[in-house]
Amino acid sequence: MTGHPASPNRADDGLPLDIRALMPGDLPATIAILTQGMRDNPLHVTVFGADPMDRRHRLARFLDPLVRYVHANGMMLGAFAQGELIGVLGMIRPGRCRPGAMERLRFARALLPGVPPASLLRIHRWLSAWASNDPPAPHWHIGPLAVLPDYRRRGIGRRLMLRCCQHVDSFAAMAWLETDLEINAGFYRTLGFELVSKKPVLGVPT
Ligand SMILES: CC(C)(COP(=O)(O)OP(=O)(O)OC[C@H]1O[C@@H](n2cnc3c(N)ncnc32)[C@H](O)[C@@H]1OP(=O)(O)O)[C@@H](O)C(=O)NCCC(=O)NCCS
């Protein structure tokens, strides 16, 4: 993975940035940023439905236990500009990216009241497809990642990823991630990631 010569404390346009590990009290804001930032990603449209309001609500229900799981089993990083959380990134430590039966049950319970059965089935198919692609070798599993729309293309996603890569590199470990957007694949390539496979998941190129 690559290093980066610019200051770790500023976005590309000089916006002062503080990137740090998030605390439990930051998690509601983290979920809100991810829900806003990832609402229109193609897999989320397929899984949670075409109506943007329904999709947002269902995605928030899905992300709540997921973000808490990532936080408990790895790290959530946050980018703060003048005290405001504007971007977040999760990373799960090696060996923990396949939740156990109890954790899956907890996810299902959190989802049940607000997510219709058809979406639940699609979530199951989606996550099973991803799990079947998971490399057997130990790896940090990266994601979710989002930057608030008003702050995009200012190097904040890159800063978060670089911090994440530094952490992974400090263990001389491998990192793995999935994306459903070609544009993001290009972004990750610039950070030293290599494309391992390209497959449709629920019909979405991933
Ligand atoms: C992906 C994401 C986190 C990138 O965050 P960001 O702060 O905008 O990223 P950066 O400013 O560091 O961009 C780095 C580079 O990625 C590429 N890139 C990122 N978004 C792009 C876009 N919408 N169009 C074209 N290139 C883009 C560019 O090469 C960019 O560098 P440049 O601005 O110098 O051309 C952000 O677009 C986002 O929140 N997207 C929605 C959620 C999502 O898809 N998350 C990832 C799931 S896998």
Residue 19 has pLDDT above 80, yes or no: yes
- Residue 13 included in any domain: no
pLDDT above 70: percentage of residues in the chain = 96
CA of 1 to the centre of ligand 1 (A): 18
Q: pLDDT per residue over 93-122, tens digit each? A: 999 998 888 888 888 888 888 888 999 999
CA-based radius of gyration for the chain: 16
Structural domain of 47: 18-205
CA of 188 to the centre of ligand 1 (A): 9
Residue 5 has pLDDT above 50, yes or no: no
Of all protein residues, whose CA lies closest to atom 5 belonging to ligand 1?
157
CA-wise closest residue to 123 among 52, 198, 66, 179: 66
Query: What is the spatial distance between Cα 99 and Cα 97, in angstroms, rounded to a whole number?
Result: 6
What is the SS3 assignment for 182? helix
Write out the DSSP string of 79-127: EEETTEEEEEEEEEPTT-SS--HHHHHHHHHHHTTTS-HHHHHHHHHHH
Of all protein residues, whose CA lies closest to atom 39 belonging to ligand 1?
146
Residue 2 has pLDDT above 60, yes or no: no
Query: What is the spatial distance between Cα 30 and Cα 2, in angstroms, rounded to a whole number?
Result: 26
- Residue 3 included in any domain: no
- Residue 93 included in any domain: yes
pLDDT band at 8 (very low <50, low <70, confident <90, very high): low
Q: What is the mean pLDDT of residues 64-92?
A: 97
Q: What is the average pLDDT value for the chain, to the nearest integer?
A: 92
| Residue to mutate, 147, 179, 201, ligand 1, most ligand atoms under 8 Å from C-beta | 147
- Residue 12 included in any domain: no
Q: pLDDT per residue over 167-181, tens digit each? A: 999 999 999 999 999
The pLDDT assigned to 7 comes to 61
DSSP structure class, residue 174: E
Q: Is 78 in the pocket of ligand 1 (CB under 6 A)?
A: no
- Residue 130 included in any domain: yes
- Residue 9 included in any domain: no
Domain count, the chain: 1
Query: What is the spatial distance between Cα 198 and Cα 116, in angstroms, rounded to a whole number?
Result: 29
Q: Is 179 in the pocket of ligand 1 (CB under 6 A)?
A: yes
The pLDDT assigned to 111 comes to 86
Higher pLDDT: 75 or 12? It is 75
Query: What is the spatial distance between Cα 204 and Cα 63, in angstroms, rounded to a whole number?
Result: 20
Work out whether the CA dihedral 21, 157, 30, 14 comes out positive or negative. positive
Q: Is 184 in the pocket of ligand 1 (CB under 6 A)?
A: yes
> What CATH number is associated with residue 39?
3.40.630.30
CA-wise closest residue to 84 among 30, 163, 36: 30
Residue 12 has pLDDT above 90, yes or no: no
The pLDDT assigned to 100 comes to 82
- Residue 22 included in any domain: yes
pLDDT above 90: percentage of residues in the chain = 82
pLDDT band at 128 (very low <50, low <70, confident <90, very high): very high
Query: What is the spatial distance between Cα 39 and Cα 43, in angstroms, rounded to a whole number?
Result: 9
The pLDDT assigned to 15 comes to 86
- Residue 62 included in any domain: yes
